[in-house]
């Protein structure tokens, strides 16, 4: 890439322009989705700005502390949650919101309702803020049949019904990765313009990767297929070189690397978390949607992740996602185990 030439590019594809181009391909669309997305983008910009000055503004303290003016300080994840709730409600395009930070779903005032449901984790990996590790926001968007009679049942849809999903990673640069159901695109925030610019068009995950990403601290509680798979990564019997282990512990950062470089991300069930640890609606589904749109796969140990039907808004699930061939390997190990236990 010629950076000098790049600095003088004038035909920049912003995220708004990209979404409007997508919208123009659907003559029946009224722009509601575009408006909703612009409010999500605003929330991401706000949080990116807050993350950058978190240490200076004492935003990493515990919620409930007060500053010298006697004002209560908001911890960064609490602040992020408020920003997204307010941005989504004020868009006038949502009727119900599910946040990782809130025990109950938020039903929007009938006067401000639209036809969309947004499930989101406002600040995933927030325990990593203090040490400067990349953190992020994850979101998934659904259409609701009847906005005037919306119930919790309308939210508990399988991930394959999702209209769009994405994440925004706050790291060395601020990157927003989005899919509206026709491929995956990555946008990077240009601070001088205050705009997300298309930098990673049509992301395709390599069919097979050389990296595996898992918390090996839980190894003694793993089931047999997971333990076998990781053993094969470390000590391959076919003469191939061992795979590299890369684990950041911030889902957005681990998935972003997996998406760009290939490989597999594993968060299996274990003795301590028999249903897995990651939440279905706002972690497993959006990331699985993005992986599939980029040509990868996602699997729960029993089924395709996007076929799962959650029963509660904070349901958890084991998850294996990444390059197509790598996920095929883990699927084969689970199939083998199922066959031997039924014999």
> 30-65 pLDDT, tens per residue?
789 999 999 999 999 999 998 888 766 766 666 665
Residue of 61, 67, 205, 40 lying closest to 138 (CA atoms):
40
Say whether both 240 and 187 belong to one domain: no
The mean per-residue pLDDT over the stretch 148-165 comes to 94
> For residue 145, what pLDDT band results from cuts at 50, 70 and 90?
confident
Q: Which of 150, 165, 200 is the last residue of a domain?
A: 200
Average pLDDT rounded to a whole number, residues 206-224: 95
- The structure's pTM equals 0.92
Residue 205 lies in a domain: no
| Each residue's pLDDT tens digit, 293-307 | 999 999 999 999 999
Question: Are residue 40 and residue 141 in the same domain, yes or no?
Answer: yes
In a domain, 265, yes or no: yes
- Give the tens place of pLDDT for each residue, 259-271: 999 999 999 998 8
Q: Are residues 193 and 216 in the same domain?
A: no
Give mean pLDDT, residues 223-250. 95
Q: In this structure, are residues 223 and 269 in contact, taking their beta carbons and an 8 Å threshold?
A: yes
**The pLDDT value given to residue 339:** 86
Q: What are phi and psi of 185, to 5 degrees?
A: -130, 145
pLDDT at 132: 81
Q: How many angstroms separate the CA atoms of 7 and 321, rounded?
A: 36
pLDDT range class, residue 28, cuts 50, 70, 90: low
| pLDDT at position 272 | 85
């Amino acid at each position: 890439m010629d950076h000098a030439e790049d600095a003088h590019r004038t035909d920049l594809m912003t995220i708004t322009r990209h979404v409007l181009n997508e919208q123009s391909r659907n003559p029946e669309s009224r722009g509601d989705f575009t408006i909703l997305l612009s409010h999500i983008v605003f929330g991401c910009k706000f949080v990116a700005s807050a993350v950058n000055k978190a240490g200076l503004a004492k935003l990493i303290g515990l919620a409930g502390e007060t500053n010298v003016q006697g004002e209560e300080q908001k911890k960064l994840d609490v602040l992020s949650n408020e920003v997204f709730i307010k941005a989504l409600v004020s868009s006038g395009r949502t009727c119900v919101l599910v946040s990782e930070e809130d025990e109950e779903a938020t039903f929007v005032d009938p006067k401000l309702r639209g036809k969309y449901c947004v499930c989101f984790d406002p600040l995933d990996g927030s325990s990593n803020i203090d040490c400067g590790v990349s953190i992020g926001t994850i979101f998934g968007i659904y259409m609701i049949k009847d906005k005037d009679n919306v119930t919790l049942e309308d939210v508990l849809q399988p991930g394959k019904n999702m209209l769009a999903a994405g994440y925004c990673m706050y790291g060395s640069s601020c990157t927003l990765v989005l899919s509206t159901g026709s491929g995956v695109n990555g946008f990077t925030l240009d601070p001088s313009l205050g705009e997300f610019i298309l930098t990673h068009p049509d992301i395709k995950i390599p069919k097979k990767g050389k990296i595996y990403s898992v918390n090996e601290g839980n190894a003694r509680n793993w089931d047999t297929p997971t333990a076998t798979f990781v053993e094969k990564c470390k000590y391959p019997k076919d003469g191939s070189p061992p795979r590299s282990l890369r684990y950041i512990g911030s889902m957005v950062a681990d998935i972003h690397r997996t998406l760009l470089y290939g490989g597999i991300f594993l968060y299996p069930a274990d003795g301590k978390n028999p249903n897995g640890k990651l939440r279905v609606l706002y972690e497993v589904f959006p990331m699985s949607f993005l992986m599939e749109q980029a040509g990868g796969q996602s699997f729960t140990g029993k089924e395709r992740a996007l076929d799962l039907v959650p029963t509660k808004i904070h349901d958890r699930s084991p998850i294996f996602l990444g390059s197509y061939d790598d996920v095929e390997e883990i699927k084969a190990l689970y199939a083998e185990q199922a066959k031997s236990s039924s014999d």
